[in-house]
Amino acid sequence: MNRSPVVITGQGAVCALGLGLDAIWAELAAGRDGMKPIERFSTATFTTHLGGMVPVPGTLEVDDAKGTRETCIRYSVLAAKEAVARAKVTFANPRRVALVLGTSMGSHLGGLHEGSAEVAAALGIEGPVVTVSTACSSSTNALGIGRDLLDDGLADVVLAGGADVLCPEIFAGFHALGLLSPKKCSPFSEGIGTTLGEGAGFLVLEREADALARGAPFVACFSGYALSGDGYHATSPEPSGAGVARALRATLDDAGLRAEDIDYVNAHGTGTAANDPAEWLAISSVLGSRAEQVPVSSTKSYLAHAQGAAGVLELVCSLLALEHGQVLPTLHFTKPRRRGPSDPVAQTTPRAAKVEHLLSNNSAFGGANAVVAVSKRVTPRRAPVQRPVYVSGFGALLPEAGSKRLGPFKLEALVPTADTRGMDPSARALTGAVALALGDAKLTLSGAARERTGLFVGTTNASPVSWEEFRSTIRERGLVKVSAPAFTRLVLNSATGTAARLLGLRGPTTTLTTGVGSGLVAAALAATYLSSRTDADRLVVGAVDEVDLERDTGRSDAAAALVLTSLPTEGSVRLAGWALAGPRALEEAIASACGAASVTPAREHLDALASGSLASCGAAFQSLRLGAGRTLLVDVSIAASCAVVLERSDA
Amino acid sequence: MTPVLMAWLEHRAQQLARVRRVLIEDLKVQREPDEIDPDAPLFGTGLGLDSVDAVELVVSLETEFGFRLDDDALARPSMRTVNSLVDLVMRKTGGSHVAP
């Protein structure tokens, strides 16, 4: 495993403040926000009319599904091209360039991974394309996964970031949840509620040695990141901030930094009554007395809440301020709320400040938290951790032969404590499969073990049943009375959040898609996370497919889960090698995975070769439990190729 | 018992049945109608509804009964239990929520 520091060599953004870094910095420096009455669609029937829309007049048709996706792609390509230009990087070997795109719902229809593949094609990227979708922490999470791809040697250049578009359905969903402020949002200040926005931002990440070798510009050092799960509620954070605190602590550990080293925190700071106090509790519990001295501000007071793109855009803004020796204020601040930052930088323009290291946090629906640490100078990595990864349990729910639909099953029989109210079929199936896998691994989790057990999920779409429920409330009651519970289930990580909550998994969590084979990709990325750090002992990998049979007749429903652990158990099977590569580079993925497992990728060295759904991965695991051998699992989608080697050598 | 009182009781029982149906069909409460205790709190430990469901409850009641609730309806004591919801429905649909 490569442990070179990872550096940011370029960045690009489009957001409510403008197109490109120069335009954005001009607004930031002047203390001008980008929130205005929305003109792109009618907000007449709503109680608020503000949005942080990208100022591209007259070109955006966003109220039909195709338009939303194309707008998202357009924003992404603009921002990504700026990042590439600023990094002065040419893709000498496009297969060694990866794209990790975080998005919540802006390009939902038609498959998130398809939109990302189009962005990759427009940029000339031919390496792996991973789409991370953990609602409002999507792009922060994507930055971390991008770093991991560099560490694993699966790419030499990574474009990581995210994009989302504000469309009427999303506006209506947040409105129905009662989260929108009638005035411009001002996190941590009186005047509760958030303002929604949109945009795209991307960073170019490279290993320091590569960046130095080509004389690349230096923006900042990407020092560390971490993920955590609240396992608490569909939309609200754990009120004590314990989930965010775990991600903050693990980020400091990953970056080799102490609380005293942190000079600035860019908070998620949405402005809602649920987020802001919980987040401050988390920051103050982790930074201790340092929290009293450190400025903590929310860039949402400038950009509004750019959903899945929020994290990367807020980091880009923080880095622009860093470059100018400043930190950004929280605008529109009138009167502090209880349980808010000691220093929210309540002023109207940026403040001069000496910052060496900063933290940037984002939280999300489904309880998915992500934090990154960034440093002004290259900081050495902490001593590498390299732990083996074993598979210790498997569970699956599959349709009966001849059927494409998962039959009815009693989730209450598997999870007696579950309140299954309002669960859609995806959430039920994923929770069932994960419960079966935990049972198969003979795990009963309690206390701290729950905090060290996470959930990584690969899936392709949110539940069609929930989509139909959401759309039917629009048809029957109108946008302004859209169903809030159905809306919360439209994010790709909704089933993940529900499974984590019902089964008490509070460790690192993510949800991603590459199309078919997403489950295997989730297994590979979980293996990287688990093997290279110490904030989790186990990661359950899940996959769920709930197919819209009217639109997609080729596939069938399925849910599967594998328990990965760094703690060997008797007769456990090793996940000996794993790799991702571009969609037309399966042979490279196989060679890398076999190389990592110290096997020659020739037939005589492999006992079996299987297509890499998570269910077939589970079947291979079951057969390896019975005797020694090696199985290579592979899968290819339009976004990525993936290969995984399972091995048992001690039987 | 007077015929007026009997008619009132029967009407109230019907409205309770409709409120229970709203809770089961629209709010997805996982219980049989007669398992929903009329005195159960709607939120928290009772029926387990939460902030996400609050607006949905208002919209569902408005759709089912055809009346309009004020924007501050959620903060009212009438949103406390199943019975208090039935009283609200009785009041808003014209009948007295107090027995004659």
Give residue A578's pLDDT band: very low, low, confident or very high (50, 70, 90): very high
- Give the three-state DSSP class for A576: strand
Report residue B13 as tokens. Answer: 């029982």
CB pairs under 8 A between A and B: 41
Residue whose tokens read 């919540």: A104
Residues of B in contact with A476 (CB under 8 A): 63
Average pLDDT, chain A: 93
Residue A138's pLDDT is what?
A: 98
Report residue A160 as tokens. Answer: 């990581």
Q: Are strands A199-207 and A220-229 parallel, antiparallel or unpaired?
A: unpaired
Question: How far, in Å, CA of A17 to CA of A31, rounded?
Answer: 11
Asked if B52 lies within 8 A of A177 by C-beta distance, the reply is: yes
Question: How far, in Å, CA of B84 to CA of B92, rounded?
Answer: 12
Residue A418's pLDDT is what?
A: 82
> Which of B31, B49, B51, B64 to probe the A interface (max A CBs under 10 A)?
B51
Residue in chain A nearest B24 by alpha carbon: A421
Residue A76's pLDDT is what?
A: 95
- Measured between CB atoms, does A176 come within 8 Å of chain B? yes
pTM: 0.93
Residue A267 bridge partners (DSSP): none
The answer on pLDDT for A46 being more than 90 is yes
Question: How far, in Å, CA of A568 to CA of A355, rounded?
Answer: 42
Distant-in-sequence, close-in-space partners of B70: CB < 8 Å, separation ≥ 6: none
Give residue A61's pLDDT band: very low, low, confident or very high (50, 70, 90): very low
Residue in chain B nearest A175 by alpha carbon: B55
The answer on pLDDT for A67 being more than 60 is no
| ipTM > 0.90, yes or no | no
Q: Which residue of B30, B52, B63 is in closest CB contact with A477?
A: B63
Find, among A303, A104, A86, the residue nearest to A204 by Cα: A86
The answer on pLDDT for A651 being more than 70 is no
Residue A511's pLDDT is what?
A: 98
Q: Which of A305, A317, A332, A357 is catalytic?
A: A305
Average pLDDT rounded to a whole number, residues A571-598: 93
In DSSP notation, B15-52 reads HHHHHHHHHHHTS---S-GGGS-TTSBSBTTTT-B-HH
Question: How far B58 CA sits from the closest chain A CA (Å)?
Answer: 10
Report residue A171 as tokens. Answer: 């506006």
Centroid of chain to Cα B64: 11
Residue A264 bridge partners (DSSP): A358
The answer on pLDDT for A261 being more than 50 is yes
The sign of the CA dihedral A361, A182, A72, A329 is negative
DSSP state of A399: P
Asked if A178 lies within 8 A of B53 by C-beta distance, the reply is: no
- Measured between CB atoms, does B87 come within 8 Å of chain A? no
Give residue A175's pLDDT band: very low, low, confident or very high (50, 70, 90): very high
Average pLDDT rounded to a whole number, residues B22-44: 91
Buried/exposed A567-589: b ≥16 CB within 10 Å, e otherwise: eeeeebbbbbbbbbbbbebbebb
- AA identity, residue A149: L
Average pLDDT rounded to a whole number, residues A50-57: 88
Give residue A63's pLDDT band: very low, low, confident or very high (50, 70, 90): very low
Q: Determine what percent of chain B is predicted with pLDDT higher than 70.
A: 92
Number of H helices, E strands in chain A: 20, 24
The answer on pLDDT for A552 being more than 70 is yes
Question: How far, in Å, CA of A221 to CA of A205, rounded?
Answer: 9
Question: How far, in Å, CA of A231 to CA of A228, rounded?
Answer: 9
Active site residue A305: yes
**What CA–CA distances, in Å, run from A407 to A425, A435, A549, A556, B83?**
10, 17, 15, 12, 37
Asked if A177 lies within 8 A of B55 by C-beta distance, the reply is: yes
- With a CB-CB cutoff of 8 Å, which residues 35-64 of chain B face chain A? 48, 50-56, 59, 63
Find, among A100, A366, A98, A390, the residue nearest to A225 by Cα: A100
Question: How far B13 CA sits from the closest chain A CA (Å)?
Answer: 25
**Under 8 Å between Cβ of A140 and A370:** yes
Most confident of A218-222, A587-591, B21-25: A218-222
Asked if A483 lies within 8 A of B59 by C-beta distance, the reply is: yes
DSSP state of A234: S
Buried/exposed A100-133: b ≥16 CB within 10 Å, e otherwise: bbbbbbbbbbebbbbbbbbbbeebebbbbbbbbb
Length of chain A: 651
Residue A520's pLDDT is what?
A: 96
Question: How far, in Å, CA of A510 to CA of A370, rounded?
Answer: 9
Question: How far, in Å, CA of A205 to CA of B61, rounded?
Answer: 52
| Residue A202, phi then psi, degrees to nearest 5 | -140, 145
| Residue A565, phi then psi, degrees to nearest 5 | -140, 150
| Residue B54, phi then psi, degrees to nearest 5 | -60, -50
The answer on pLDDT for A58 being more than 80 is no
pLDDT tens for each residue of A321-357: 999 999 999 999 999 999 999 999 999 999 999 999 9
Question: How far, in Å, CA of B6 to CA of B90, rounded?
Answer: 15
Q: Are strands A641-648 and A573-581 parallel, antiparallel or unpaired?
A: antiparallel
- Give the three-state DSSP class for B58: helix
* H or E element that contains A144: helix A138-151
The answer on pLDDT for A358 being more than 90 is yes
Residues of B in contact with A488 (CB under 8 A): 52
- Measured between CB atoms, does A471 come within 8 Å of chain B? no
Question: How far, in Å, CA of A362 to CA of A305, rounded?
Answer: 11
Report residue A157 as tokens. Answer: 């250049």
pLDDT tens for each residue of A195-244: 999 999 999 999 999 999 999 999 999 999 999 999 999 899 999 999 99
Residue B78's pLDDT is what?
A: 81
- Measured between CB atoms, does A421 come within 8 Å of chain B? yes
Average pLDDT rounded to a whole number, residues A77-82: 96
Average pLDDT rounded to a whole number, residues A110-138: 93
- Give the three-state DSSP class for A613: coil
Residue A107's pLDDT is what?
A: 61
Question: How far A489 CA sits from the closest chain B CA (Å)?
Answer: 11
> Which of B22, B51, B52 to probe the A interface (max A CBs under 10 A)?
B52
